[in-house]
Amino acid sequence: MIKFRKNILEFANPNNFLSIANKIIPFFLILTIIILSLGLVWGLFFTPEDYRQGSSVKIIFIHVPTAFLAINIYFMMLLASIIWLIRRHHVSLIAAKSAALIGLIMTLSAILTGAIWGKPIWGTYWAWDPRLTSFAILLMFYLGYLSIWQTMKFSDKIGDLSSWLCIVGSIFALLSRYAVFFWDQGLHQGPSLSLDKEENIDNVFYFPLIICIIGFVLLFLTLLLIRIKTEIQKRKINILLNARDG
Amino acid sequence: MLDFGKYTFEVLISYAGTFSLVSIVIVSTYLDAKKVKRDLKNLNTDNLNDK
């Protein structure tokens, strides 16, 4: 446990982070390309049509991973923001900032693919269903969080402000995640992946879906590592410029 | 060529839409990283020249 804590703290040092990131980014990149291609090709070309949804079931191979990431990236940002507020580790703040754009794109994609799937299956692109509504609000929080960083210069105060916004928005991330469990009035069905074998989707869809989720998570981690690395280097440039110009 | 039955258009537009959105992040991440790398290199060269 002490060793694990020491390793995590080493990651919080920007220089250590850069040296570790430089080593693992190429490995993550190759793994992402292989696993994502495998999952998407399997899901798109080698799965049968569903007896009720027809071929529209193939949309789940991108809708479920993007929705999964939309919520979990926000939780990751929440964790990083809390670490920033308590321990003042700049790498955690940079990690939250770097993840936000990826989270926004995943949320947009989940809403878009959900709407396209919803029209033929539910008969409508959009409904003010608890899960869909909480997703729309989550999208607003992502936009708000990114707007703070786009309009103001990097500083500890802005870091605090964005972290508090992230904490408030986490309520909607929680709602997006659990709305289907405790709100039984929406159009959205239960989770596609469940620990209960009876409720789970058929294995013919389950395995490619799991591979797609792993592929999208790897894509997120690869992009996140590159974005954090770039952000640390930007800070370095600012420090060097300030030192040079006095 | 790509025929997914009754919902071919919905399937293709979903995949194309997601790829376009993800491409925005990938391209912006790549360009940003490239620019920062170049700036850092220029700055280091300037510092060496100053010395």
Q: What is the ipTM for the molecules in this complex?
A: 0.90
> Would the CB atoms of A66 and B18 count as touching at under 8 Å?
yes
- The predicted pLDDT at position A9 comes to 61
> Would the CB atoms of B29 and A56 count as touching at under 8 Å?
no
**Domains: count for chain A:** 1
The range of the structural domain enclosing residue B51 comes to 25-51
The range of the structural domain enclosing residue A231 comes to 22-48+60-245
Any domain includes A5: no
Tell me the percentage of chain A whose pLDDT exceeds 70. 86
Which pTM value belongs to this model?
0.90
Two tokens, residue A138? 């989550």
Any domain includes A17: no
Closest to B15 (Cβ–Cβ): which among A62, A227, A237?
Answer: A62
Any domain includes A1: no
Digit-coded pLDDT (tens) for A204-224 = 999 999 999 999 999 999 999
Any domain includes A32: yes
Instruction: Judge whether B10 is closer than 8 Å to chain A, CB to CB.
Output: yes
Residues of B with Cβ-Cβ distance to A233 under 8 angstroms: 36-37, 40
Digit-coded pLDDT (tens) for A70-84 = 999 999 999 999 999
**Domains: count for chain B:** 1
Whether the predicted pLDDT of A163 surpasses 90: yes
Nearest C-alpha in B relative to A113: B14
A102, A183 contact by CB (below 8 A): no
Average pLDDT over residues A14-33: 92
- DSSP assignment of A138-178, as one string? HHHHHHHHHHHHHHS---HHHHHHHHHHHHHHHHHHHHHHH
Of the listed ranges A193-202, A204-213, B29-38, the least confidently predicted one is A193-202
- DSSP assignment of A30-91, as one string? HHHHHHHHHHHHHHHHSSPPBTTTBGGGGGHHHHHHHHHHHHHHHHHHHHHHHHHHHH--HH
- DSSP assignment of B11-32, as one string? HHHHHHHHHHHHHHHHHHHHHH
> Averaging pLDDT over each range in A173-182, A201-210, B39-48, which range is the top one?
A201-210
> Would the CB atoms of A116 and B14 count as touching at under 8 Å?
yes
Any domain includes B3: no
Closest to A109 (Cβ–Cβ): which among B17, B32, B43?
Answer: B17
